[in-house]
Chains A and B, each alone.
Chain A
Amino acid sequence: MYGKAPSGSFANRPSSRAGLGSSWGNIRGTTGVPPQTGRLGARPTTKMGLGFQVMDRPMTQQGLGGIKGSNQVRGRMIQDRTFFMSELRHKVSLVTNEINKLNNEINVIEKENENYDAFEKKVDQSANELRELQGQLGDLNTLVDKLNVDTDLEDIERLYNQIKIKNQRENNILNDIFTQRQQKENLIRDMEKKIEEERKQAEEQLKKLDADKLNEYYSFKEQNAQYIAEIQQKDQMINELNEKEKTLRENLEKNQLKLKAYENFMKINELKEKKEALEEDISSIESKNGPEERERLLQKVKEDNVEISGMERKITDLEEQISKCKERLSQLDMDIDPHQGEKNSKYEELLKRDKDMQAFIDSFDSKKNELVEKTNQIQTQIAESLEKLSSLSKRDIPSYTGASGLKELKEDLQFKQKEMKNSENTADALIIERNQRLQDLEKVNQLESKLNFELTSLKNKIEKLNEDMEKIKNIDELKKSTEEQKKKNKADRQGLREFRDSLKQEVAGLSTIYDGKKAQLQENETFAQLGAFEQKLRYQESNNFHLKEYIQTKTLESNYQAISQEILQSLEECNGQILKLMSIPPSC
Chain B
Amino acid sequence: MATKSLTNKLILRAKCVLLGNPAVGKSAITQLFHSDGSQFSKNYSMTIHSEVYIKPVNIPDTSVTIELFIYDLGCHEIFQDYIPKYIEDATLFAFVFDVTNNDSFKNLTKWIQMVRKVTGKKVIPGVLIGNKIDLSLRRSVSVQHAEEFANSYGFEYFETSALSNTDIEDPFHFLANMCHSNYEEQLKEFIKDSQTLI
Check A534 for interface membership: any CB of B closer than 8 A: yes
- A552's closest neighbor in chain B, by CB? B138
Stretch in A199-207, A316-324, A539-547 with 4+ CB within 8 Å of B: A539-547
Number of chain A residues whose Cβ lies closer than 8 Å to a Cβ of chain B: 10
Q: Is there contact, CB below 8 Å, between B137 and A542?
A: no
Q: Give the docked Cα–Cα distance between A548 and B44 (Å).
A: 11
Check A538 for interface membership: any CB of B closer than 8 A: yes
Contact of A538 among B23, B45, B138 (CB under 8 A): B45
Q: Is there contact, CB below 8 Å, between A545 and B138?
A: no
Number of chain B residues whose Cβ lies closer than 8 Å to a Cβ of chain A: 12
Q: A541-B23, A541-B46 are in contact. List 12 more A-B contacts (CB 8 A).
A: A534-B48, A537-B78, A538-B46, A538-B48, A541-B22, A541-B76, A542-B43, A542-B46, A546-B44, A552-B100, A552-B138, A556-B138
Q: Is there contact, CB below 8 Å, between A541 and B137?
A: no
Cβ proximity bits B54-88 to A, threshold 8 Å, 1 near / 0 not: 00000000000000000000001010000000000
- A549's closest neighbor in chain B, by CB? B44
Q: Give the docked Cα–Cα distance between A552 and B100 (Å).
A: 10
Taking Cβ atoms with an 8 Å cutoff, the residues of B that contact A are: 22-23, 43-46, 48, 76, 78, 100, 137-138
Q: Is there contact, CB below 8 Å, between A556 and B45?
A: no
Output the residue of A534, A538, A541, A552 with the most chain B CB within 10 A.
A541
Q: Is the interface of B mostly helix, strand, loop or mixed?
A: loop
A-B contact pairs, 20 of them (CB 8 A): A537-B46, A537-B76, A537-B78, A538-B45, A538-B46, A538-B48, A541-B22, A541-B23, A541-B44, A541-B45, A541-B76, A542-B43, A542-B45, A545-B23, A546-B43, A546-B44, A548-B23, A552-B100, A552-B138, A556-B137
- B49's closest neighbor in chain A, by CB? A534
* A534 / chain B contacts, CB cutoff of 8 Å: 48
Contact of B44 among A537, A545, A556 (CB under 8 A): A545
* B23 / chain A contacts, CB cutoff of 8 Å: 541, 545, 548
Q: Give the docked Cα–Cα distance between A546 and B100 (Å).
A: 15
* B45 / chain A contacts, CB cutoff of 8 Å: 538, 541-542
* B76 / chain A contacts, CB cutoff of 8 Å: 537, 541
Q: Give the docked Cα–Cα distance between A537 and B46 (Å).
A: 8
Cβ proximity bits A545-577 to B, threshold 8 Å, 1 near / 0 not: 110100010001000000000000000000000
Q: Is there contact, CB below 8 Å, between A542 and B44?
A: yes
Q: Give the docked Cα–Cα distance between A541 and B46 (Å).
A: 6
Q: Give the docked Cα–Cα distance between A318 and B44 (Å).
A: 136
